[in-house]
Structure 1
Amino acid sequence: MTDKPLKTDRDLFALLDSLGIPHETTEHEAVFTVGESERLRGIIAGAHTKNLFLRDRKDRHFVVTAEEYATVDLKGLHRILDASGRLSFGKPETMWHYLGVTPGSVTVFSAINDIASQVTFVLDEGLMRYDRITGHPLRNTATTSVGRDDLIRFLKATGHTPLVLKVAD
């Protein structure tokens, strides 16, 4: 459990509004995987994403966001990120503590809950060719779409300068 007040989807939308970032959210049944979310194609505009919550040997944490069907080589990713040793998936309790989300809801938008900047956010270069990018608004029962450049502005407003790197094929 976290000792800080967690931001909700309403807080996220209020921050996006205060930054002048247009956003569109579609409610849907809970989805936990890319496969489960396939039924939403054509309904929600933008590049659909997969998000990985990872940690290295020195307990540094990363959220890696890539286009949903991109292949991320977890065995070599540590070299690209200059991480300490191979990466593994972060623990659910750590995810909750830093990001205020549970497995299946990991999202680039969870940066709003990482007030101490304990997590490095990584956006795949290939994802950045899309005009609009989607992510869960801190819960997996909705999907929010924002502009690519607006996503960067959002991350910077939360105190995170994202790394834009080629992490997927």
Structure 2
Amino acid sequence: MTEDSIYTEFEDRSIVFENLEHEPVHTVEDSAGIHAALPAAHTKNLFLKDKQGAFWLITLPHDKRADLKAFAALLGAGKFSFGKPEDMERLLGVQPGAVTPLAAANAPEGQINLVFDAAFRTAQRIAVHPLRNTATIALPFVALEAWLREKDVATQTVALP
């Protein structure tokens, strides 16, 4: 998937989204100004690998503390460590700083476990990168979930501790 093909698919499915171009962001702290300019539930995305070698993409609210030990226990993943940039590029087709649940559509089926925090279920829109860290798009969470299902991306939505 490319950014353009994602936008085309969204338009073909009448998924309403808003796009904001901005300077490159690499951390949640870098993105603070974007939050005011693009109202939505902004995300923090963690590309992880468990002890058995399985890869995970965990998407949580930008202001939620990432407790890898608690996440691993909840998800039955053993122990998490951060995935290597070369694995991220191979599986998701993105660079560090541009991790997004949209990239899960690039992964071979069954190669990435995508988990969303349950907090997104009550948000009007979710804000994610469109495969690059110089833009952010906001779209309804239910529309994102439906699009991912169409791409055969299995997702879990759980209340992360």
Q: TM-score range by the shorter chain?
A: over 0.9
How do 1:7-26 residues align onto structure 2 when only pairs under 5 Å count?
Answer: 7-26=1-20
Q: 1:124 aligns with which of 102, 117, 127?
A: 117
Q: Could you say which residue in structure 2 is the equivalent of 1:113?
A: 106
TM-score (norm 1): 0.91
How do 1:7-86 residues align onto structure 2 when only pairs under 5 Å count?
Answer: 7-83=1-77, 85-86=78-79
Distance 2:10 2:74 in 1: 30
Distance 1:115 1:45 in 2: 32
* Partner SS state of residue 139, structure 2: strand
Instruction: Kindly provide the amino acid, as one letter, of the partner of residue 77 in structure 1.
Output: F
4+ residue runs of structure 1 moved beyond 3 angstroms? none
What residue ranges of structure 2 are gaps of 5+ in the alignment? none
2:152 is the alignment partner of 1:159: yes
Shift of 1:154: 1.4
* Partner SS state of residue 76, structure 1: helix
* Partner SS state of residue 157, structure 2: strand
Q: Could you say which residue in structure 2 is the equivalent of 1:97?
A: 90
TM-score (norm 2): 0.95
- For the aligned residue pairs, the C-alpha RMSD in angstroms reads 1.2
Instruction: Kindly provide the amino acid, as one letter, of the partner of residue 18 in structure 1.
Output: D
Instruction: Kindly provide the amino acid, as one letter, of the partner of residue 158 in structure 1.
Output: K
What residue ranges of structure 1 are gaps of 5+ in the alignment? 1-6
Distance 1:121 1:167 in 2: 13
CA contact (8 A) 1:115 1:159 kept: no
Name whichever structure is richer in helix by fraction. 2
Distance 1:130 1:8 in 2: 26
Shift of 1:117: 3.3
How many aligned residue pairs are there?
161
Distance 2:131 2:150 in 1: 17
